[in-house]
Structure 1
């Protein structure tokens, strides 16, 4: 009996031993004959990492994952296998399948996850290393065929490599969890962007969300303090030579350290504090609103220390002022003045050469281009200036020259770190300050000479001043009477007779305001003459239209504009502030409109995209309101007769204002093209590609049809402006088909007549004046 009991005991011990061997700790390796079943686990040889089954916080689903050993899986899981297909119960198994792949199975034997590689051998093993990498080897030589580091989840570990290939587009990315209780693939991903100068990016559903700034050999210059951080400085980015860039992290293995992409899009740096038994966070990005990619749009700069945080760069204004004032900045900013290359291409006045404005401690824009050949900052600047497409450059010591073309996006002002950024601006937008030492020296040297000259001239001036004043006043009075007589002759309703040349600006005031009509203040050139920007002593900005002595136009057109505009007040008409008639000078002074004329947008390949269809429709309506006022509601009934894009000025909010009442040249060109395309049914060819949105097609075509109705042969067929306004606002739904424009049938005869006339008379240009008679 005792012997029998002994045998039973031995058998039981053997059974328990075998059971323990089968279900217990399987070391660090998984084989076909040695799987792991829930809740079993394997541990790396150095007891640093553990792989097994776990359930996230507030979840009953089971997953296979890797975490630091002796730290609860609930605290942080570093890698998850079946993240998108959880197991509903505790029946899961991780093993090697018949085809040699590592798989996760549920209780029914269904494959929920697989390493999914073509091995070529039916025997393979998987091992958990002390780096936290699950590696699979196959074949007689134990070749590496798969590793978990190639398929990371949300955690970046030391010795892990995030790579991206600029040629193929292939990337190894971190993918966030859906939430803290759901490890399935979330909305955020992170990795290397290899285009231009490589950067570390976070994407939200494929769209940029945050970026590190360019890699300059030792650090990412868009991360303040990175060069002084013990952990962040462990990053290295290598060019593999085939278009592949690989980001690696080298940290002391004694640390339990990781970078995690959270479900909220934060990229955090953390390490395990053994004394506190918790994770310590040393850095995270994005950390402020300014870190969000493109927060201030193109050509906008973000400063987390300022309120509001977004401002337009110098020389730029908000593209959408209404949104900007509401704190919606993503539409960005646009240039106030074109660069020199753009002015050359547009055939406008070239002016002086562009320059650069330097901004310090900046996060430079995205998509920088590396220029290897400039060996100094001056050469980098010169190279950018020679390239019409270059809008900014930066020179970083130890790395070299960076340049940007196109829109500048995601610019940020730092309180520390960053680098210098040089923005290309037209000459008129630069702070061109003279050297104060030179000014002081010249003042001292010339002071004595000036005093002597002044003493000599003062007594002479006293004697002749009264005589010159009388002559000037007499000349002005004569010119004023002559001009008024010219304009009013045969055209003198009672309200016109009330017009006076007031207020009169003194020539000296306008010369001072425009820096003596310096070329840098010139806004444009028309048939009347040049227009200059100026600033009065009280700070008010003005536009001064100066009659050219060789323009072929004179007092009649000059006075016509004074008469017309001085009697008009409407928000869609340019406002005349006054005029100047002194000596040989005749000038008109207007309110300054910073966005220049409509043609500067419509016919500029870079700027026309700023006028989306809704904005263009608002401009059309504004012009219509202005014309309705001129034709029906003003004290004078006025027919403009020279309405064209160059005569429509835009204020800061891009509201239209009609200008040039009587002094612009007649528009010329192939004016029958709008009609031919309509007649051929090819209406879409008329539409600017910048606004060719199918959503607005009906509205755009309606505006084209209204435009053709306005240029029909017979005046009786053309709609009144009040009718046009109703058509634009769809108060009149059905529009009549347009008849042929007058210039289509008469163009050939007009051209012939023009040639004949040119042989008889030498005319500088043709002008139109505003007609003060009603239709």
Structure 2
């Protein structure tokens, strides 16, 4: 399909781009078949393309309307049975609609051509995402490639120089009842305007210039590298006027410095100084000596993705809410849209090259502000500090050399004690002893370089984990239990015995242990792919391409713990981390398959939301994640639980099904929870329509009276490697 009166041909719609008619086939034709459908057939009457709708009658007629819509309608009633406007090619013309339905998942979107002269499907698509305020996206495959920014009722605030046009009118609608978002445009007078998705992924607005007899471009989405989605990674800032174009937002530094220096900015940036979180610190709080967080103003930018809409009438209310909400990382107050806040990584922040853009208020620790005052102090003491630094470096050099000599002595002493640096086996197994190698403490000192800070992998409530290298070059992870832990030696050995009985390809392997004085150490295999929790909740967290895919993986590969009924509940170590503990197990030590179901239900809700059940951000509402999901379910807003990073790829019905199943799994009474066999069936087919009851532990609080330090946290997701 093309414009009839325009001399420079511009094809705007193709029916059979994926299956062209051979050039040699001169007898191909378009006709209405006996079943009433439009068909393209070749000379041998083989169907090349068809409208393929279930009509039931053959009294149909095809019309090319004045607006360019090619329709198939019933001859008597005039009802449209099929129309080309519902199947866009690479071009959007006036009257054509792009849409997405948040309830059914149905989409109408543009698809690029493979090349300028090949109308088969290319690798880019363009359409809407089902969120408020709405945005237009271009995807390269399944990944975002460009976005328009939020729609303010007249224009998209993320497009540089964008302003309402006098010659065309864009309309964006949202039908709350049907769950459908749609966008279209109309032109005034006889102007011919179209939006084309080029084969390189750039959107162009083209207008026919009758005087010059050519198509003129008034907008192109990709002009610089900064226009490509997320060029600078999380908390990165892109400015095309600078070289390099990427820098970190104020208060942040490159996550991977070596990669950043080579021009690979995808790793993004990390915060230098942790936030104080609360806006008001009360007396007696451990934070009482900390100063309030502050906001740094970033002027004239394309606001980051994944904003949340808050109903506040002025900027001051917006600022106060953000300051007093532990999850809020930034805010902006925009005309019409009003208060916008961000509670997840700031992605795709870009400096506008032309006047305009919005002001972003970035939340920082107080110490990150007042750089001018800090500079004046530095200048005033620069001479003195120079001598101090020089003396400190000299002193530090000699101390470092001495420390290395000490480590070498420790290494030699460890080797003398036992032919190797690492192992002293304990195979006697008298009573209740672990059947694992027992490492010498000095050998662990050498392997971890005296528990060097540079080898620190992480820290939790029960100890710190360090990376180490044994004499045989094997890399290990050493968990050094906190000296404040009340766990005794025998309890520690019981834990080791239980861990050794667990064998699974995704469960990190325990290689040995160390007990010496007050030191209690666990030596694990090193996990180069990081742990599962870092991929679900941490810095390595990536947008999940398909919730169903991850749920299916977990169902097929989930680790189910069965504790021996012969063991006394009072003597055995509590293995299930707090956030995954069922009420019957927490209160009475009763363990069954339904205990696993409860834990799986919590995990299911965590995957959908991208948040941990024990996330402290829910504390303000005295809720945990399960309680928050239940509240949204009752209010009919349960899709708001969805992780913002899933917005571009999730099917709403799938996510709704996951939340539904998750709430059924965390029922207070174990009898109300479905068995795992039914859980699999419900997730795959959605057959169960039972309404969930109020789940267990809706209010945030510790279900046990035990001291938290007495809990090992056992099989948390940090013990599961992402393979």
Normalising by the residue count of structure 2, what TM-score does the alignment of the two structures yield? 0.56
Choose which of 295, 299, 302 in structure 2 pairs with 1:356: 295
1:75 Cα offset (Å) = 3.3
Partner of 2:100: 164
CA distance in 2 between counterparts of 1:125 and 1:540 reads 91
Partner of 1:620: 468
Partner of 2:497: 676
Over residues 83-109 of structure 1, what are the superposed CA-to-partner deviations in whole Å (9 max), with x where a residue is unaligned? 111111222111111111111111111
Choose which of 336, 357, 375 in structure 2 pairs with 1:418: 357
Is 2:234 the counterpart of 1:399?
A: no
Partner of 1:286: 222
CA distance in 2 between counterparts of 1:358 and 1:600 reads 34
Give the 5 Å matches for 1:217-616. Answer: 217-227=153-163, 234-242=169-177, 243-341=179-277, 349=287, 351-372=290-311, 374-415=312-353, 416-431=355-370, 538=385, 567-568=402-403, 601-603=458-460
**Contact in 1 for aligned 2:278/2:325 (Cα 8 Å):** no
**Contact in 2 for aligned 1:298/1:407 (Cα 8 Å):** yes
In structure 2, do the counterparts of structure 1 residues 209 and 540 end up closer, same or farther at CA, with 3 Å as the change threshold?
Answer: farther
**Contact in 1 for aligned 2:72/2:80 (Cα 8 Å):** yes
In structure 2, do the counterparts of structure 1 residues 537 and 75 end up closer, same or farther at CA, with 3 Å as the change threshold?
Answer: farther
Over residues 571-592 of structure 1, what are the superposed CA-to-partner deviations in whole Å (9 max), with x where a residue is unaligned? x99xxxxxxxxxxxxxxxxxxx
1:110 Cα offset (Å) = 1.4
**Contact in 2 for aligned 1:156/1:260 (Cα 8 Å):** yes
**Contact in 2 for aligned 1:163/1:246 (Cα 8 Å):** yes
Partner of 1:130: 66
1:214 Cα offset (Å) = 0.7
In structure 2, do the counterparts of structure 1 residues 539 and 122 end up closer, same or farther at CA, with 3 Å as the change threshold?
Answer: farther
**Contact in 2 for aligned 1:220/1:226 (Cα 8 Å):** yes
What are the ranges of 5 or more consecutive residues in structure 2 without an aligned counterpart? 409-451, 529-570, 572-723
Partner of 1:61: none
1:258 Cα offset (Å) = 0.7
1:399 Cα offset (Å) = 2.4
CA distance in 2 between counterparts of 1:349 and 1:331 reads 31
Select between 79-88 and 269-278 the one with higher mean Cα deviation.
269-278
Over residues 534-554 of structure 1, what are the superposed CA-to-partner deviations in whole Å (9 max), with x where a residue is unaligned? 999548999xx9xxxxxxxxx
Choose which of 20, 24, 29 in structure 2 pairs with 1:86: 20
Partner of 2:2: 67
Aligned residues: 459
CA distance in 1 between counterparts of 2:112 and 2:383 reads 59
In structure 2, do the counterparts of structure 1 residues 136 and 562 end up closer, same or farther at CA, with 3 Å as the change threshold?
Answer: closer
1:121 Cα offset (Å) = 2.2
**Contact in 1 for aligned 2:97/2:183 (Cα 8 Å):** yes
Q: How much is the aligned-residue C-alpha RMSD, in angstroms? A: 4.4
In structure 2, do the counterparts of structure 1 residues 205 and 535 end up closer, same or farther at CA, with 3 Å as the change threshold?
Answer: farther
Give the 5 Å matches for 1:626-775. Answer: 666=483, 668-670=485-487, 671-672=492-493, 675-682=496-503, 687=508, 701=509, 704-705=510-511, 708=512, 711=514
- Three-state SS of the structure 2 residue aligned to 1:568 is helix
In structure 2, do the counterparts of structure 1 residues 622 and 126 end up closer, same or farther at CA, with 3 Å as the change threshold?
Answer: farther
Give the 5 Å matches for 1:52-63. Answer: none
**Contact in 1 for aligned 2:155/2:164 (Cα 8 Å):** no
Higher relative contact order (Cα pairs below 8 Å, separated by 6+ residues)? 2
In structure 2, do the counterparts of structure 1 residues 673 and 369 end up closer, same or farther at CA, with 3 Å as the change threshold?
Answer: farther
1:360 Cα offset (Å) = 0.8
- Three-state SS of the structure 1 residue aligned to 2:31 is strand
For the pair shown, the structure with the greater C-alpha radius of gyration is 1
CA distance in 2 between counterparts of 1:538 and 1:205 reads 55
CA distance in 2 between counterparts of 1:229 and 1:276 reads 22
**Contact in 2 for aligned 1:677/1:683 (Cα 8 Å):** no
CA distance in 1 between counterparts of 2:453 and 2:277 reads 18
Over residues 45-68 of structure 1, what are the superposed CA-to-partner deviations in whole Å (9 max), with x where a residue is unaligned? xxxxxxxxxxxxxxxxxxxxx000
What are the ranges of 5 or more consecutive residues in structure 1 without an aligned counterpart? 1-65, 435-511, 516-533, 546-560, 574-594, 609-615, 628-642, 647-664, 688-700, 719-723, 730-747, 749-775
Normalising by the residue count of structure 1, what TM-score does the alignment of the two structures yield? 0.53
In structure 2, do the counterparts of structure 1 residues 97 and 295 end up closer, same or farther at CA, with 3 Å as the change threshold?
Answer: same
**Contact in 1 for aligned 2:29/2:40 (Cα 8 Å):** yes
